[in-house]
Every structure is written in C-alpha cells, then in structure tokens.
Amino acid sequence: MGIFSPIYHLLLPLCYRKSWNMEIIEDIVIVGAGIAGLATALGLHRMGLKSLVLESSDSLRITGFAFLTWTNAWRALDALGIGSSLRQEHLPLQGLVGGSTATGLSTAQISIKASAKWFGSKVVSIEVTGNLKLVHLAAGTILKTKVLIGCDGVNSVVGKWLGLQKPAFAGRWSVRGLTEFPDGHGFRPEFLQYFGDGIRSGFLPCDENTIYWFFTYSPSPENKGKEESASEMKEYVLSKLGNVPQEVASVVEKSKLDAVIASPLRFRWPWHLLWGDICKGNVCVAGDALHPMTPDLGQGACSALEDGVVLARCLGEALLEKPRGGAKEEEEYERIKKGMDKYARERRWRGIELITTAYVLGWIQQSDGKVINYLRDKWLSKGMAEMLLKKADFDCGKLYSPI
C-alpha cells in the first residue's frame, strides 16, 4: 500500500496537431486522458500497439487530487512497467487507524512515447459506419477508428452510446485537500480515519512534506451552496471535524484554498452494470465510465488501473493473433470483438463487487443513527478496515510485451 501522489509529469510528445473538418483513420481511439485512459494507452504500448488519446481539457491535468494506491494498483503499475520507479517516490503506509468523530479517540512519471494525445479534443458524438466507428469532435474533426475505448469518466459519452444509465447521485459530497508542510509534517505513515455523526474524514501522508485529506458529508440546509466557495467549505469542514486531535485539525487549517475541492459523489447502480452493455462490438468503457463508485473503498482509480491492464491484454492478444483468413476487415473485427468480450467478462463482476462494497461501507461509516453508530464503533470497525485490505488484494495479471 502507498500513496499515488497528485502530480503527473508529462513526458508525452504531442505528435499530431488538430486538423479541421477532415476525416482521419485510426486503429485504436481512447477518449479521456485520466488514469484509465493513460493506463490503457500505456498497456497497449507495452503490447506493441499504438493508440490515439483524445482529451477535452487543453492539457494533461497535473495537479488536483491524490488518491490512496492499494496493493492491486501497485500490481497493475508493475504490469505497466512503472511500479518500481513510482515506489521510490512514495511513502508506503504502515497502518490504518480508525477513530470516532465524537470521541476524537508525485509524482508519477508516465512515459508513453508511442501513443499520441490530442488535447482540447472533446468527443461530442459517435456514429457507426460498417465495422468502423466515427468519432465526432467538437471542433468538427471526424475520426474513423477500428476500436473505440471510453475512459471519459462519470459523464461518459461512450457509455451513453453503449446505452449505459447515467450514474446516480449518492446523496453525499466530498471535500478533498492537500496540505504542504515545507519543514515536514511529523505524522506517522498511517491512514487516519474518523467516522460518525453523518460525516467521515481521512488523513494520509503522501510523503514527508505533504498530507492528503478528505471529508465526506450529506447536503443539508446548513451547508447548502458552500461547495461553491473553498474558504466556506474549509470553515465548514473545520466546524464539523469533531473531537479529532488538534494536530489533525491543523492539517485542514493549513490547506491553501486552491488545494481544496468539493465534488458530489456518484455511482452506478450495480444492476445497471449487471444488465448493461459495457462493450458492444469494437466499443467499450473503462474506469469511472464503467464503474463509478463512492470513494469509501478508495478503489476507483486503483480499479481503473486494473481495467487498463486487462483491456490492453485482451485487446492486444486479439489484435496480435495470427489472422485466420477470410475477408481481412471482417476477420479483424471478429478478433477485436472477441478481445472486448473477454475484457467485459473479466471486469463486470469486479466492478459490481467494488461499487456495492463501497456503497455499503460508506453508508455504515457515515451513518448518524444511534444503533449503527454503536455497532460500528463497537464491532464493525475492525471488519471494515479488513474489508479495505481484502478488496485491494486483487491481481489483474501481467502484460506479456512483445517489445
């Protein structure tokens, strides 16, 4: 277990420039340069396959949030070939510490030289032409592709095209912050958590000088509209932290306002994932576009990395398989479809399991009912910590790179 820190360093040359109102043909197009899109592109690169990543933002997001990187994510990063370099830059956590609110008791360097990125390229619609997909960009460019992968987050355009239901609001918001301590924070390398009274807070050292913190709450007339202002949000968090030790509260106090962000929590109902099409022919989704979940397990990004590895392996094996003869285009489409179906079979249940566990865990952790509070603080606390470790103990397998 360790921390995957807030910053990506971009080492990706921009190989293409945007061209207006013209049609371009690609083998593999990935929509979204978040963690899922980048992991998939890197995985495909390791399998010897080039892809084009389309990102609606003007640049790669290099700051903004941190997340807990569990064992399963490190296995995926190892499969992608970047685990060992990242390990040297991150602090391995040595413990989980749970507490009650009432009692008080990177830099990631990802190099994908073979793949291209188009920033400022927002996908607005998708069309079918034979076995190919036409990807329409907001600027008017149309791309034709043999494979389309949606890594475009909770509001996925690709997911919508597949017919997946819009993710639901979980009835909770989360505030996240990063606090810098130039002279060192002095915290032990442990994940500190406090829950109860309708809120949950957590504090995780990223390295000797930075602490990532979060605070989850339910909307009420008291906090309505506060998410618009970082300073009001910070004040609200401080007023609700409860009886946590002063040095813990001072982590929030010392956060700069531009390092505080509030977001609504969304998730996909598990039965939508069970019955829905997560892939259709040569189109599929990965990461939050596939399995948006509440952050209570800290598994959204970790499982997006798993998706990237599994998808690259399934697709890579299918595309690198020796052609079986017959009409070239049709035969290749069938191989891609087979690879995509294999990916969907491997990932569907993992997504369902993580979404469901995260939701139930969040409900228990954040409850302010007397009975649940008592059960949680007395009996369930240890089991919940064990559940985090259990769900993280997953191996997405390796990539056998031909290069």
Ligand X SMILES: Cc1cc2nc3c(=O)[nH]c(=O)nc-3n(C[C@H](O)[C@H](O)[C@H](O)COP(=O)(O)OP(=O)(O)OC[C@H]3O[C@@H](n4cnc5c(N)ncnc54)[C@H](O)[C@@H]3O)c2cc1C
Give the binding site for ligand X (CB under 6 A): 31-37, 54-57, 67-68, 122-123, 151-153, 157, 174, 176, 214, 263, 287-289, 295, 298-302, 304
- Residue closer to ligand X, measured from CB, 202 or 339: 202
DSSP symbols for 305-327 = HHHHHHHHHHHHHHHHSPP-SS-
Nearest CA-CA partner of 357 in 308, 287, 303:
303
- Residue closer to ligand X, measured from CB, 116 or 333: 116
- Residue closer to ligand X, measured from CB, 312 or 335: 312
CB 322 → ligand X: shortest distance, Å?
Answer: 33
- Does residue 358 sit in helix, strand or coil? helix
- Residue closer to ligand X, measured from CB, 64 or 369: 64
DSSP symbols for 97-154 = EEEETTT----EEE--TTSEEETT--EEEEEEETTEEEEEETTS-EEEEEEEEE---T
- Residue closer to ligand X, measured from CB, 36 or 340: 36
**Tally of CB atoms within 10 A around 397:** 13
CB 181 → ligand X: shortest distance, Å?
Answer: 20
CB 7 → ligand X: shortest distance, Å?
Answer: 14
CA dist list (Å): 178 to 62, 166, 342: 14, 30, 39
- Does residue 50 sit in helix, strand or coil? coil
- Residue closer to ligand X, measured from CB, 54 or 260: 54
The dihedral built from the CA positions of residue 55, 61, 64 and 67, taken in this order, carries a sign that is positive
The torsion defined by the Cα of 390, 393, 396 and 401, in degrees rounded to 10, comes to: 170
The torsion defined by the Cα of 235, 238, 240 and 241, in degrees rounded to 10, comes to: 160
Alpha helices in 254-369 (DSSP H): 270-275, 300-320, 328-366
CB 193 within 8 A of CB 99: yes
Residue 111 tokens, joined? 């190099």
- Residue closer to ligand X, measured from CB, 8 or 333: 8
CB 288 → ligand X: shortest distance, Å?
Answer: 4
CB 260 → ligand X: shortest distance, Å?
Answer: 12
Residue 296 tokens, joined? 């209570």
Q: For residues 2 and 91, what is the distance between their CA atoms, to the nearest angstrom?
A: 6
CB 374 → ligand X: shortest distance, Å?
Answer: 27
CB 138 → ligand X: shortest distance, Å?
Answer: 8
CB 88 → ligand X: shortest distance, Å?
Answer: 20
Residues 6+ apart with CB under 8 A from 286: 36, 37, 40, 149, 150, 151, 304, 307, 308, 311, 347
- Residue closer to ligand X, measured from CB, 176 or 335: 176
- Residue closer to ligand X, measured from CB, 78 or 152: 152
CB 85 → ligand X: shortest distance, Å?
Answer: 19
For residue 208, the one-letter residue type is E
CB 289 → ligand X: shortest distance, Å?
Answer: 6
- Residue closer to ligand X, measured from CB, 302 or 318: 302
CB 151 → ligand X: shortest distance, Å?
Answer: 5
Burial of 160 (0-12, 13-18, 19+ CB in 10 A): middle
- Residue closer to ligand X, measured from CB, 338 or 348: 348
For residue 220, the one-letter residue type is S
